[in-house]
Each structure stands twice: as structure tokens, then as C-alpha cells.
Amino acid sequence: MIDKYSPLPIYYQIEEAIKGRIEKGELQEGEMIPSEREYAETYGISRMTVRQAITNLVNDGYLTRRKGKGTFVANQKIEQKLGLTSFTEDMKARGLKPSTKLIDFQVSDARGKIASGLGIHPGDEIYEIQRVRLADNIPMALETTYLAADLVKGLNQRIVQGSLYQYVEEELGLSIDYATQELEASVARETESEVLRIAKGTPVLLIRRYTYLKDGRPLELVQSIYRGDRYKFIIDMQRG
Ligand code: 16G
């Protein structure tokens, strides 16, 4: 499989071979890969070369090293297209079971940026909801959602443990139309790391979404922390 006369560096060829096996499912998530020594012997190359290939795959998120144990195939990330979909829809479309752990549900008074973002007056009532979103029981994101109580009528704890978008569209008959979203790199703080079951300081994606209805009224402000080891967002772009 390795071509020593190829212009492609040997470490790169090894990298592609391992990646290929992961993509074909010959090496499964969580499976331990052969040791550097084994690879070196199989391919008749130096351990240094193998190490370089493995380090690159670790850096690219294909493999993870566990101290004193070995190198394993990393969990593959969920690829999410940036469309105006809900968490429930996204997970179902992937054949994963969505669930929600409600952390907080409060009715409070709108203040500052939240009031202006929701197009309401300071002091107007809002729902402030904090939810951990899980896929097949694995925590994926921590979401804090703000909604105007006057617009999203009758919301309760039970409803937000299911799909908020489904309630808004099917029960309230409102048409969700568009959103703007900001994406930023960040690291998990103490509370976030606990609920997402990741180490403190792990890279995460911070997303802010402002969603609007067809008539232009703001529906929600959402701040989410997505696990960087589980998620990648894909943006389609077109010129012109
Ligand atoms: C997604 C949205 C969030 C929305 C939620 C509704 C992002 C970054 N966020 O998580 O804005 O509130 O879906 O999901 O995509 P639900 O209908 O399952 O409650």
C-alpha cells in the first residue's frame, strides 16, 4: 500500500490509508488502532514516520490518544448544514434520538439587549429557558433561549422538553422565516463542562441565533454552546 517512489511523503500515505479505513468503517469509533511499532513493521518504515502520520490525524480529530492506553478512533463529528432547522429535526434526520434535559425555566423581565433583540420593552415578560440537548443520550449542546411571553403564549416546562419549533409552528400557528447566526470559538467553562460531560477548557463552538417570523417579529434569541469534539458546521456558499 505504501509507495516509496511516490512524490507523496510516506507519512501522508499512511495518514490517507488510516483515514480511508475509518471512512469505510473498517476501523470503528472507539476502536484501538495498531501501535506505532506494528505499523512500522507492517509497512517497513520508521516509527518516526508513523508517529508523524498519527499526530496529524490526532490534530485533525480522526484519532485520540489516551495516556498509557493507546490511540483510538475518535468519535466522528455531527455535520450540520446551517439551515433554519431545529435541534429535534436535525437529530431525527440523522437517525439519532433527540432528548432534552431542562436546566432552567423562568419567566422574568426583559432587560437591555434581550429586550431590544426581541423587539419588546424593558420590563416586558420573557421566558428564559436553559436546556441541554442530547442525541442518543449524549449531551451535544447547552442552549439558553429567550422568548417574548406575549408572543410565545402558553409555553411550559413540558413543551420545552420536546420541540420548541414544533410548538411555535403547529400549536401557535406562527411561521418561522429566517435567522442570523454568529459562530465563535470558545472554551468550556465549569458549568458548561459539567452538563456537557467534557473537561473544563475543552474547545467549544459558541453560537448566537436571532430567529424571526414571516412578519418580521423576532421569535427567539438563543445562545448555544456546542461541543467542539462532536460538531462541525457546514456553510454552502454561492457567488453572485
Ligand atoms: C436549534 C437552534 C435553536 C432553536 C432550537 C429549536 C441552533 C444553533 N439553534 O438548536 O435556535 O431554538 O433548534 O429546537 O441551531 P427544538 O425545536 O428541538 O426545541
224 lines ligand 1 (CB under 6 A): yes
212 lines ligand 1 (CB under 6 A): no
220 lines ligand 1 (CB under 6 A): yes
Q: Give ∠ CA 90-227-71 in degrees, rounded to 5.
A: 115
Rounded to the nearest whole angstrom, what is the distance from the C-alpha of residue 44 to the centroid of ligand 1?
Answer: 51
Beta strand 231-234 with 78-81 is parallel
- pLDDT lower than 70: segments of the chain: none
Rounded to the nearest whole angstrom, what is the distance from the C-alpha of residue 238 to the centroid of ligand 1?
Answer: 25
Rounded to the nearest whole angstrom, what is the distance from the C-alpha of residue 224 to the centroid of ligand 1?
Answer: 9
Return d(Cα 163, Cα 152) in angstroms, integer.
13
Looking at residue 210, what is its pLDDT?
96
| Cβ atoms within 10 Å of 55's Cβ, excluding its own | 15
Q: Whose CA is nearest to atom 10 of ligand 1?
A: 87
Dump pLDDT digits (tens) for 87-121.
999 999 888 899 999 999 999 999 999 999 999 99
Return d(Cα 160, Cα 166) in angstroms, integer.
10
Looking at residue 95, what is its pLDDT?
87
pTM: 0.78
Q: Which residues, 6+ apart, have CB-to-CB distance to 232 below 8 Å?
A: 77, 78, 79, 80
Rounded to the nearest whole angstrom, what is the distance from the C-alpha of residue 149 to the centroid of ligand 1?
Answer: 18
Query: If residue 210 lies in a helix (H) or strand (E), which one and from where to where?
Result: strand 203-213
90 lines ligand 1 (CB under 6 A): no
Query: If residue 132 lies in a helix (H) or strand (E), which one and from where to where?
Result: strand 125-135
Dump pLDDT digits (tens) for 209-228.
999 999 999 999 999 999 99
Distances in Å between the Cα of 193 and the Cα atoms of 61, 120, 231 are 19, 33, 15
Looking at residue 60, what is its pLDDT?
83
